[in-house]
Structure 1
Amino acid sequence: MGHTDGRGQPPLTPAEPYATVRETHTGLVVLVGDLAFKCKKPVRTDFLDFSTPERREEVCQREVELNRRLAPASYLGVAHLNMPCNVAAEPVVVMRRHPDSSRLATMVRGGQPVTDALIAIAEVLARFHKTARRGRSIASHGTVDAVKTRWTTNITELQRFADTILDRQRLDAVDHLASQFLAGRGMLLAERISERRIVDGHGDLLADDIFCLPDGPEILDCLEFDDHLRYVDMLDDAAFLAMDLEFLGHKDLAEFFLDHYSRLAADPAPQSLKDFYIAYRALVRAKVDCVRFAQGHLDATADALRHMDIAQQHLQAGRVRMVVVGGGPGTGKTTLAQGLARQVGAHVVSTDEVRRDMQSSGAIRGEAGVLNARLYADENVRAVYEEVLRRAHLLLANGRSVILDGTWRDPRRRQQARELAAQTHAAILELRCDTAVHTAARRVEARKAGNISDATPEIACALADNARQWPEAHTVDTSRPPAEAVRTAEELWHFAGQRTR
């Protein structure tokens, strides 16, 4: 056996054996001294084919070529193990052996500080993505249909393990949540393509395959057996490591890494897209766990269930939502809307702000202070709510949850909001703020000059009974301290994300 480059001399710790063998679900790794020798198992699965020597040769050569993009010093070449009896020589990838103590997963499990290492990894990955291959054929793998196909393929393969390892109802719930997200996010994914964020990436970024060395991180073992599975959104690529850090029990490190990567990549992606890709990567690893279980590794069951937990939690957290917050003037709806937005990271679209914008631009005219007339004439009110829903549509289609702040006293406007939520496959939550009429009137009277609302105490009293005619809404008692009302709304927000139908 020979290799095509010189040997490195990484220091091994006394605890590490000079020679050892490690097994994965698709190969064997023989560690000897300062070298590692990787060979592929002669297996064929739903997602790879190593069944012939020719196919294994091709995959080994491709592995070295692709991994030299991120770790040129670690991949030395392809050697061949000569077999007896005229059997074809077995290809073996020859690599430098790095100390296990420098493995990111080892460091995380051991509780070592890794924030500096994660910053360095984010920097390496962002630079790699900046110059990674792009093009029309690669970008085509970032469309809604392409991403949906990858998701469905994984779900179909996991269905074989339903009612044995996995719970069928949970699998169906996870599939539904992901399908709802993708169905309403065509605009978002099209924008990702137009921004050239679909690249020939790493495709399998795990903490176990990253070594934190004095000269910087070495990122190994990219996905080499199917080019199409490497053609991914840059965020999807980074989300794999975030998912794995969370799997290792450190969601804080996962968020730290992904936030730092996003800043370096100048990527303003919504949190919902981050959650979706973390869920997708957790699903991929659940599939690998199930394959390992089928190969006789019974302990893989717990890993599969843990990965499914992560997938479901992120799909629920990342579900795009529309919250309609209504009630008469002075009931505290703006305070509730803004307080909830701060807690959950949603965008507020306010009828008061939209009305002021449209008045300034000349789109609507009239003086304030009179109910159902002038500035508040029916045609002006209709125009304001149409603009509110137009702005909400753009945000929802781009994966950003919205909170719509207005009186919402007209059931026709509320129905239009429901139709928009259905169109964008967003979970809808309707909240009606309720407080005593005299309290609402007093609040309006006490407002400081310059408040964006044009309501008067008389309008507050006139609208009080009308606002209560909203049977579909959850009533929130806003006579309480604002923080208590916000907590109630936040609980309802989280419940809305968990509904699968």
Structure 2
Amino acid sequence: MTPAELRNLAGNLAQTEGATSVITTHISQVLLTPNYVYKIPKAIQLPYLDFRSLEQRRNYCHQEIKLNRRFTEGVYLDVVPISKLDEQIVMGKGAGTLIDYAIKMKRLPEERLMSNMLENGEVQGEHMVAIADQLVGFHRSAGKVVEPPDLQGMQEDFADLRSAHTVVAELIGPAAARTLEEWVIGGQQLLVKHEKRIQERHQQQFYIEVHGDLHAANIFLLDRPVLFDCIAFNDPFRQADQLNELAFFCMDLDHFGRSDLGDIFLQHYLQQLPCIATEEDQILFLYYKLYRANIRLKVNALKWQQTTDTEEQKTRSEAVVSYYALMQRYCEALGIP
């Protein structure tokens, strides 16, 4: 969908549903109305997804609804066709030409988004207990991953940190950029050292179908936590050691300066569903925190390069600095130079 078509659709939605705003992510265009959210996959191809055909985008929309309904009810509503009729772009099949599809979701109150509540100091230990309870229930019933862990693939994913070299050099300094290479080497060596335990954990069925993108900006804290926007576009991204899932969420809380909340969450989860049995498991948990901070640093570095908006550049640069510091903290704890 072109920018002009998106504006046309937003204008028509505003007439029928009320004021409509547009948000663009790296794989979707999102329309926000007072009561609903419409998420439209972009017609793009990336190394980990292919949405170029109308059929591929339709299938993805249905897959996203199916996967996210595992966590919540009444939020992911339907797949809605988008049509073009007499130069007008409208939601619904109508009499026009079908040009795209959207995922229709119920809009939830922004003030209850966990990331916003963390910024306002409103998240409490009871929220962590509720999230842990919900995640335990999901993980207990999750499908087991048959394919064994791909150590080389894990090393290559971590080594992609090198792609942030130029941005880190500019925002933090040349010495910091050189340190990235030391972290890549140290991370690879750590995986090799603990490969046997990684494979054992797979054999012990700790590798399951997880949410895959569990962080505070993907959780609404209502009477019952609403976990949303799981990884739906790439199955391997959603197949991991459950420690990896827990580490992502705890890393995010570390980033917000609320490690105390992460401790409450982890303790309550492990009381019900133990998955840390050895000292090596503790090391792997910390490694997964490092890996997830690595990803967040890279994502923000890329977005800093791509944006021309001064305010967003400032936000992204601060995030790069913050995630670099978090990686440094984890590397020191792991004994990586």
> What is the TM-score with the length of structure 1 in the denominator?
0.56
Aligned to 1:62: 63
Q: Report the counterpart of residue 77 of structure 1 in structure 2.
A: 78
Amino acid at match of 2:328: Q
Aligned to 2:294: 283
1:221 matched to 2:232: no
Question: Which letter does structure 2 place at the counterpart of 1:298?
Answer: Q
Provide the secondary structure at the position in 2 that maps to 1:89.
strand
Q: Which residue of 1 aligns with 2:313?
A: 298
**2:207 maps to which residue?**
198
Aligned AA (1:227)? D
- Which structure has the bigger radius of gyration? 1
Per the alignment, do residues 128 and 186 of structure 1 end up closer, same or farther by CA in structure 2, a change over 3 Å counting?
Answer: same
* CA shift in 2, pair 1:52/1:293, >3 Å: farther
Does residue 1:100 correspond to 2:110, yes or no?
yes
The answer for the alignment partner of 2:241 in structure 1 is 233
Tell me if 1:134 matches 2:144: yes
| CA deviation after TM superposition for structure 1 residue 226, in Å | 0.9
2:161 is the counterpart of 1:155: yes
CA contact (8 A) 1:83 1:90 kept: no
Out of 152, 156, 161, the residue aligned to residue 145 of structure 1 is 152
Q: d(CA) in 2 for partners of 1:132 and 1:165?
A: 41
Q: CA RMSD in A?
A: 2.4
TM-score, normalised relative to structure 2? 0.81
Contact 2:164 2:302 in 1 (8 A): no
Alignment-derived partner of residue 243 in structure 1: 251
What is the CA deviation profile of residues 112-166 of structure 1, one whole-angstrom value per residue up to 9, with x for unaligned ones?
14211111111111111111111422xx2x35334324323x3354456564457
One of 113, 116, 120 as aligned partner of 1:110: 120
> 1:315 aligned to 2:321?
no
Contact 1:25–1:291 (Cα < 8 Å) also in 2 = no
Letter of the structure 2 residue corresponding to residue 248 of structure 1: F
Deviations 1:266-294 (A, max 9, x none): 12253222211111111111222123223
| Equivalences, count | 300
Mapping of 1:101-500 within 5 angstroms? 101-137=111-147, 140=148, 142-152=149-159, 154-159=160-165, 161=167, 163-164=169-170, 167-214=176-223, 216-269=224-277, 270-296=281-307, 297-299=312-314, 300-317=316-333, 319=334, 497=335, 500=337
SS at match of 1:306: helix
Deviation at 1:174, TM superposition (A): 1.8
**Amino acid across the alignment from 2:77:** L
Offset of residue 203 of structure 1: 0.7
Tell me: CA distance 1:87–1:313, structure 2 relative to 1, closer, same or farther (3 Å): farther
1:414 matched residue in structure 2: none
CA–CA separation in structure 2 for the residues paired with 1:240 and 1:149: 19
AA matched with 1:150: D
CA distance 1:307–1:44, shift in 2 (3 Å)? farther
Q: How much has 1:197 moved relative to structure 2?
A: 0.4
Higher relative contact order (CA 8 A, sep 6+): 2
The whole-number CA distance in structure 1 between the counterparts of 2:31 and 2:45 is 22
Q: Distance in 2 between matches of 1:274 and 1:169?
A: 25
Structure with the higher fraction of residues in helix conformation: 2
Is the contact made by 1:102 and 1:211 (CA closer than 8 Å) also made in structure 2?
Answer: yes
For the 8 Å contact 1:143–1:189, the answer to whether it is kept is no
Runs (5+) with no aligned partner, structure 2: 1-17, 88-95
Q: 1:36 to 1:96 in 2, by over 3 A?
A: same
SS of 1:38's equivalent in the other structure is: strand
